[in-house]
Amino acid sequence: MAKRTENLKALPMSFAALAAEPLFHIGNFPVTNSMINAWIATGFFVVIAFIASRRKSIVPRGIHNIFEAVVEAGVGEMEKVTNNKKKALAFFPFVATIFFFILVSNWMGLIPGTGTIGFNQLIHGEMELVPLFRPAGADLNFTLAIAVLSLVVVQAVGIKATGITNYVSKFVNIRGIFRAIPKGPMAVVVAVIEFFVGLIEIISEAAKVLSLSLRLFGNVFAGEILMGVMLSLVSVFLPIPFIFLEILVGVIQATVFAMLVLVFLTVATESHGEHEEEHKEKEGGSEKHLEPSH
Protein backbone atom coordinates (compact mmCIF):
# COMPACT_ATOMS: atom_id res chain seq x y z
CA MET A 1 0.00 0.00 0.00
CA ALA A 2 2.85 2.35 0.86
CA LYS A 3 4.56 1.61 -2.46
CA ARG A 4 1.36 2.34 -4.36
CA THR A 5 0.99 5.67 -2.55
CA GLU A 6 4.59 6.57 -3.45
CA ASN A 7 3.86 5.78 -7.10
CA LEU A 8 0.81 8.04 -7.08
CA LYS A 9 2.83 10.85 -5.49
CA ALA A 10 5.41 10.44 -8.24
CA LEU A 11 2.83 11.21 -10.92
CA PRO A 12 3.55 14.32 -13.00
CA MET A 13 1.78 17.49 -11.94
CA SER A 14 -0.37 17.43 -15.10
CA PHE A 15 -2.19 14.41 -13.71
CA ALA A 16 -3.13 16.23 -10.51
CA ALA A 17 -3.09 20.00 -11.17
CA LEU A 18 -6.15 21.62 -12.67
CA ALA A 19 -4.20 24.62 -13.94
CA ALA A 20 -1.55 24.32 -16.64
CA GLU A 21 2.01 24.85 -15.39
CA PRO A 22 3.97 27.88 -16.71
CA LEU A 23 7.31 26.94 -18.28
CA PHE A 24 8.65 30.44 -18.92
CA HIS A 25 7.45 34.02 -19.35
CA ILE A 26 7.49 36.41 -22.27
CA GLY A 27 7.44 39.68 -20.39
CA ASN A 28 4.51 39.27 -17.99
CA PHE A 29 2.83 36.66 -20.21
CA PRO A 30 3.22 33.07 -18.92
CA VAL A 31 3.76 30.34 -21.50
CA THR A 32 2.30 27.09 -20.18
CA ASN A 33 2.92 23.48 -21.21
CA SER A 34 -0.60 23.25 -22.66
CA MET A 35 0.21 26.21 -24.93
CA ILE A 36 3.21 24.30 -26.27
CA ASN A 37 0.94 21.44 -27.30
CA ALA A 38 -1.56 23.85 -28.86
CA TRP A 39 1.22 25.56 -30.84
CA ILE A 40 2.51 22.21 -32.07
CA ALA A 41 -1.02 21.31 -33.22
CA THR A 42 -1.30 24.70 -34.96
CA GLY A 43 2.03 24.12 -36.71
CA PHE A 44 0.82 20.71 -37.84
CA PHE A 45 -2.24 22.22 -39.52
CA VAL A 46 -0.16 24.97 -41.13
CA VAL A 47 1.92 22.23 -42.78
CA ILE A 48 -1.25 20.36 -43.85
CA ALA A 49 -2.71 23.56 -45.31
CA PHE A 50 0.52 24.23 -47.21
CA ILE A 51 0.50 20.71 -48.69
CA ALA A 52 -3.21 20.92 -49.56
CA SER A 53 -2.78 24.25 -51.38
CA ARG A 54 0.05 23.04 -53.61
CA ARG A 55 -0.38 21.61 -57.12
CA LYS A 56 -4.12 22.18 -57.28
CA SER A 57 -5.75 20.60 -60.33
CA ILE A 58 -9.21 19.73 -61.60
CA VAL A 59 -8.50 16.03 -61.10
CA PRO A 60 -6.97 15.51 -57.62
CA ARG A 61 -4.02 13.18 -57.30
CA GLY A 62 -2.25 11.45 -54.45
CA ILE A 63 -2.84 12.96 -51.04
CA HIS A 64 -5.23 15.53 -52.52
CA ASN A 65 -7.70 12.69 -53.04
CA ILE A 66 -7.76 12.24 -49.26
CA PHE A 67 -8.33 15.96 -48.70
CA GLU A 68 -11.20 16.01 -51.21
CA ALA A 69 -12.78 12.89 -49.69
CA VAL A 70 -12.60 14.44 -46.19
CA VAL A 71 -14.18 17.69 -47.40
CA GLU A 72 -16.99 15.91 -49.27
CA ALA A 73 -17.74 13.63 -46.32
CA GLY A 74 -17.68 16.55 -43.90
CA VAL A 75 -19.99 18.72 -46.01
CA GLY A 76 -22.34 15.77 -46.48
CA GLU A 77 -22.61 15.15 -42.74
CA MET A 78 -23.11 18.85 -42.02
CA GLU A 79 -25.83 19.08 -44.64
CA LYS A 80 -27.79 16.48 -42.66
CA VAL A 81 -27.86 18.96 -39.76
CA THR A 82 -28.44 22.20 -41.67
CA ASN A 83 -30.77 20.73 -44.36
CA ASN A 84 -29.17 23.34 -46.60
CA LYS A 85 -26.07 22.72 -48.71
CA LYS A 86 -25.30 26.43 -48.99
CA LYS A 87 -25.18 26.75 -45.21
CA ALA A 88 -23.16 23.54 -44.90
CA LEU A 89 -20.54 24.90 -47.31
CA ALA A 90 -20.47 28.26 -45.50
CA PHE A 91 -20.07 26.70 -42.04
CA PHE A 92 -17.67 23.94 -43.05
CA PRO A 93 -14.34 25.84 -42.75
CA PHE A 94 -15.01 27.02 -39.20
CA VAL A 95 -16.67 23.86 -37.86
CA ALA A 96 -14.13 21.53 -39.51
CA THR A 97 -11.26 23.59 -38.10
CA ILE A 98 -12.67 23.24 -34.60
CA PHE A 99 -13.22 19.50 -35.04
CA PHE A 100 -9.73 18.67 -36.32
CA PHE A 101 -7.97 21.04 -33.92
CA ILE A 102 -9.69 19.51 -30.88
CA LEU A 103 -9.18 15.98 -32.25
CA VAL A 104 -5.44 16.42 -32.82
CA SER A 105 -5.03 18.24 -29.48
CA ASN A 106 -6.74 15.33 -27.70
CA TRP A 107 -4.72 12.66 -29.48
CA MET A 108 -1.45 14.46 -28.83
CA GLY A 109 -1.97 13.66 -25.16
CA LEU A 110 -1.44 9.97 -26.03
CA ILE A 111 2.00 10.53 -27.59
CA PRO A 112 4.70 8.96 -25.37
CA GLY A 113 6.44 11.66 -23.38
CA THR A 114 3.42 13.93 -23.05
CA GLY A 115 2.99 14.50 -19.33
CA THR A 116 6.10 12.50 -18.42
CA ILE A 117 9.02 14.44 -19.95
CA GLY A 118 9.83 17.55 -17.97
CA PHE A 119 11.98 18.97 -15.21
CA ASN A 120 11.88 18.77 -11.44
CA GLN A 121 10.81 21.86 -9.57
CA LEU A 122 10.51 22.62 -5.87
CA ILE A 123 6.81 23.18 -5.12
CA HIS A 124 5.40 23.47 -1.61
CA GLY A 125 8.62 22.07 -0.17
CA GLU A 126 8.63 18.96 -2.42
CA MET A 127 10.34 18.17 -5.69
CA GLU A 128 7.70 17.55 -8.36
CA LEU A 129 7.92 16.88 -12.07
CA VAL A 130 6.65 19.75 -14.21
CA PRO A 131 5.88 18.20 -17.64
CA LEU A 132 7.08 19.96 -20.76
CA PHE A 133 3.95 18.92 -22.69
CA ARG A 134 0.37 18.83 -21.44
CA PRO A 135 -2.73 18.02 -23.55
CA ALA A 136 -4.33 21.33 -24.52
CA GLY A 137 -7.81 19.97 -23.80
CA ALA A 138 -6.80 19.31 -20.19
CA ASP A 139 -6.43 23.07 -19.68
CA LEU A 140 -9.68 24.88 -18.91
CA ASN A 141 -8.28 28.09 -20.41
CA PHE A 142 -7.96 26.33 -23.78
CA THR A 143 -11.48 24.88 -23.82
CA LEU A 144 -12.97 28.13 -22.53
CA ALA A 145 -11.21 30.12 -25.26
CA ILE A 146 -12.56 27.85 -28.01
CA ALA A 147 -16.07 27.99 -26.52
CA VAL A 148 -16.03 31.80 -26.30
CA LEU A 149 -14.68 32.10 -29.85
CA SER A 150 -17.37 29.72 -31.14
CA LEU A 151 -20.21 31.63 -29.50
CA VAL A 152 -18.86 34.99 -30.71
CA VAL A 153 -18.80 33.62 -34.27
CA VAL A 154 -22.35 32.25 -33.80
CA GLN A 155 -23.63 35.69 -32.77
CA ALA A 156 -21.81 37.42 -35.64
CA VAL A 157 -23.13 34.93 -38.21
CA GLY A 158 -26.65 35.24 -36.78
CA ILE A 159 -26.58 39.04 -37.03
CA LYS A 160 -25.24 38.90 -40.60
CA ALA A 161 -27.87 36.37 -41.70
CA THR A 162 -30.99 37.87 -40.12
CA GLY A 163 -30.06 41.50 -39.49
CA ILE A 164 -29.21 43.07 -36.17
CA THR A 165 -32.81 44.13 -35.40
CA ASN A 166 -34.31 40.69 -36.04
CA TYR A 167 -31.48 38.93 -34.21
CA VAL A 168 -31.68 41.14 -31.12
CA SER A 169 -35.45 40.67 -31.05
CA LYS A 170 -34.86 36.98 -30.34
CA PHE A 171 -33.60 38.03 -26.93
CA VAL A 172 -35.25 41.42 -26.28
CA ASN A 173 -38.52 41.35 -28.23
CA ILE A 174 -39.98 44.77 -27.37
CA ARG A 175 -41.10 45.17 -30.97
CA GLY A 176 -43.40 42.17 -30.58
CA ILE A 177 -45.26 43.81 -27.69
CA PHE A 178 -46.04 46.96 -29.70
CA ARG A 179 -47.14 44.88 -32.69
CA ALA A 180 -49.47 42.85 -30.46
CA ILE A 181 -51.37 45.88 -29.05
CA PRO A 182 -53.80 46.24 -32.01
CA LYS A 183 -54.52 42.49 -31.88
CA GLY A 184 -56.05 42.55 -28.41
CA PRO A 185 -55.14 41.84 -24.77
CA MET A 186 -54.43 38.11 -25.24
CA ALA A 187 -51.90 38.86 -27.97
CA VAL A 188 -50.21 41.38 -25.64
CA VAL A 189 -50.02 38.77 -22.86
CA VAL A 190 -48.42 36.28 -25.25
CA ALA A 191 -45.96 38.93 -26.47
CA VAL A 192 -44.98 39.78 -22.86
CA ILE A 193 -44.38 36.09 -22.13
CA GLU A 194 -42.24 35.85 -25.26
CA PHE A 195 -40.30 38.91 -24.06
CA PHE A 196 -39.37 37.20 -20.78
CA VAL A 197 -38.58 33.96 -22.61
CA GLY A 198 -36.15 35.97 -24.72
CA LEU A 199 -34.41 37.24 -21.58
CA ILE A 200 -34.02 33.62 -20.46
CA GLU A 201 -32.43 32.91 -23.85
CA ILE A 202 -29.68 35.42 -22.98
CA ILE A 203 -28.80 33.28 -19.95
CA SER A 204 -28.97 30.22 -22.18
CA GLU A 205 -26.39 31.72 -24.56
CA ALA A 206 -23.99 32.34 -21.67
CA ALA A 207 -24.60 28.81 -20.38
CA LYS A 208 -23.53 27.40 -23.76
CA VAL A 209 -20.00 28.68 -23.13
CA LEU A 210 -19.78 26.87 -19.80
CA SER A 211 -21.39 23.73 -21.20
CA LEU A 212 -19.01 23.47 -24.17
CA SER A 213 -15.85 24.26 -22.23
CA LEU A 214 -16.52 22.19 -19.11
CA ARG A 215 -17.67 19.12 -21.07
CA LEU A 216 -14.49 19.01 -23.15
CA PHE A 217 -12.19 19.86 -20.23
CA GLY A 218 -13.81 17.34 -17.88
CA ASN A 219 -13.53 14.42 -20.31
CA VAL A 220 -9.95 15.12 -21.37
CA PHE A 221 -8.71 15.83 -17.85
CA ALA A 222 -10.44 12.72 -16.48
CA GLY A 223 -8.78 10.69 -19.23
CA GLU A 224 -5.38 12.05 -18.23
CA ILE A 225 -6.00 11.09 -14.60
CA LEU A 226 -7.12 7.61 -15.64
CA MET A 227 -4.08 7.03 -17.85
CA GLY A 228 -1.75 8.32 -15.14
CA VAL A 229 -3.19 5.98 -12.54
CA MET A 230 -3.05 2.96 -14.86
CA LEU A 231 0.55 3.66 -15.86
CA SER A 232 1.58 4.11 -12.23
CA LEU A 233 0.11 0.71 -11.29
CA VAL A 234 1.09 -1.46 -14.26
CA SER A 235 3.09 0.09 -17.11
CA VAL A 236 2.82 -2.91 -19.50
CA PHE A 237 -0.29 -4.29 -21.28
CA LEU A 238 -2.91 -2.99 -18.78
CA PRO A 239 -2.97 0.61 -20.15
CA ILE A 240 -3.45 -0.58 -23.77
CA PRO A 241 -7.30 -0.88 -23.62
CA PHE A 242 -7.47 2.53 -21.96
CA ILE A 243 -5.32 4.04 -24.72
CA PHE A 244 -7.83 2.81 -27.33
CA LEU A 245 -10.62 4.16 -25.13
CA GLU A 246 -8.96 7.58 -25.07
CA ILE A 247 -8.61 7.51 -28.86
CA LEU A 248 -12.36 6.91 -29.11
CA VAL A 249 -13.13 9.56 -26.50
CA GLY A 250 -11.03 12.06 -28.46
CA VAL A 251 -13.13 11.46 -31.58
CA ILE A 252 -16.41 11.64 -29.66
CA GLN A 253 -15.54 14.87 -27.83
CA ALA A 254 -14.35 16.60 -31.00
CA THR A 255 -17.51 15.48 -32.82
CA VAL A 256 -19.84 16.59 -30.03
CA PHE A 257 -18.20 20.01 -29.73
CA ALA A 258 -18.19 20.62 -33.49
CA MET A 259 -21.77 19.40 -33.99
CA LEU A 260 -23.07 21.57 -31.15
CA VAL A 261 -21.40 24.61 -32.70
CA LEU A 262 -22.95 23.65 -36.06
CA VAL A 263 -26.41 23.42 -34.46
CA PHE A 264 -25.92 26.82 -32.79
CA LEU A 265 -24.90 28.33 -36.16
CA THR A 266 -27.92 26.79 -37.90
CA VAL A 267 -30.38 28.05 -35.27
CA ALA A 268 -28.78 31.52 -35.22
CA THR A 269 -29.28 31.96 -38.96
CA GLU A 270 -33.00 31.19 -38.79
CA SER A 271 -35.36 34.12 -38.34
CA HIS A 272 -38.32 34.14 -35.96
CA GLY A 273 -40.92 33.67 -38.65
CA GLU A 274 -39.08 31.05 -40.66
CA HIS A 275 -40.66 28.06 -38.90
CA GLU A 276 -44.08 29.72 -38.87
CA GLU A 277 -43.90 30.41 -42.62
CA GLU A 278 -42.91 26.80 -43.30
CA HIS A 279 -45.79 25.62 -41.14
CA LYS A 280 -48.23 27.88 -42.98
CA GLU A 281 -46.94 26.70 -46.34
CA LYS A 282 -47.44 23.08 -45.29
CA GLU A 283 -50.96 23.86 -44.05
CA GLY A 284 -51.75 25.73 -47.25
CA GLY A 285 -50.45 22.83 -49.32
CA SER A 286 -52.51 20.33 -47.37
CA GLU A 287 -55.64 22.46 -47.76
CA LYS A 288 -55.11 22.64 -51.52
CA HIS A 289 -54.61 18.92 -51.56
CA LEU A 290 -57.92 18.41 -49.73
CA GLU A 291 -59.91 20.70 -52.06
CA PRO A 292 -62.10 18.66 -54.41
CA SER A 293 -61.19 18.92 -58.05
CA HIS A 294 -63.86 20.18 -60.48
Q: What pLDDT, in 10s, does the model give residues 212-271?
A: 998 888 888 887 777 777 777 776 777 778 788 888 888 999 999 999 999 999 988 886
Domain count, the chain: 1
Is the CB of residue 197 less than 8 Å from the CB of residue 224? no
Proportion of the chain above pLDDT 70, given as a percent: 76
Range of the domain at 16: 2-128+139-271
Nearest residue to 71 via CA among 49, 54, 50, 55: 49
**What average pLDDT is seen over the chain?**
77
Q: pLDDT band at residue 17, thresholds of 50, 70 and 90?
A: low
Pairwise CA distance, residues 102 & 17, whole Å: 21
User: Residue 289 domain-assigned?
Assistant: no
Residue 8 lies in a domain: yes
What average pLDDT score do residues 37-47 get?
Answer: 89
Is 178 inside any structural domain? yes
pLDDT at 193: 76
Q: Sign of the CA dihedral 186, 192, 196, 197?
A: positive
pLDDT at 132 over 70: yes
Mean pLDDT of 3-8: 43
Q: Give domain status of residue 133, yes or no.
A: no
Closest CA to 38 of 125, 130, 145: 145
Does 167 map to a domain? Answer: yes
Residue 181 lies in a domain: yes
Band of the pLDDT at 51, cuts 50, 70, 90?
confident
Distance CA 116, CA 112 (A): 8
- Give a yes or no: residue 185 inside a domain: yes
In which band, very low, low, confident or very high, does the pLDDT at 98 lie, cut at 50, 70 and 90?
A: very high
Count of other CB atoms within 10 angstroms of residue 155: 13
Give Cβ neighbours of residue 63 (< 8 Å, ≥ 6 apart): 51
pTM confidence score: 0.76
The answer to whether 231 and 200 are in contact (CB under 8 A) is no
Residue 122's pLDDT band (cuts 50, 70, 90): low
User: Is 281 inside any structural domain?
Assistant: no
Confidence of residue 152 (pLDDT cuts 50, 70, 90): very high
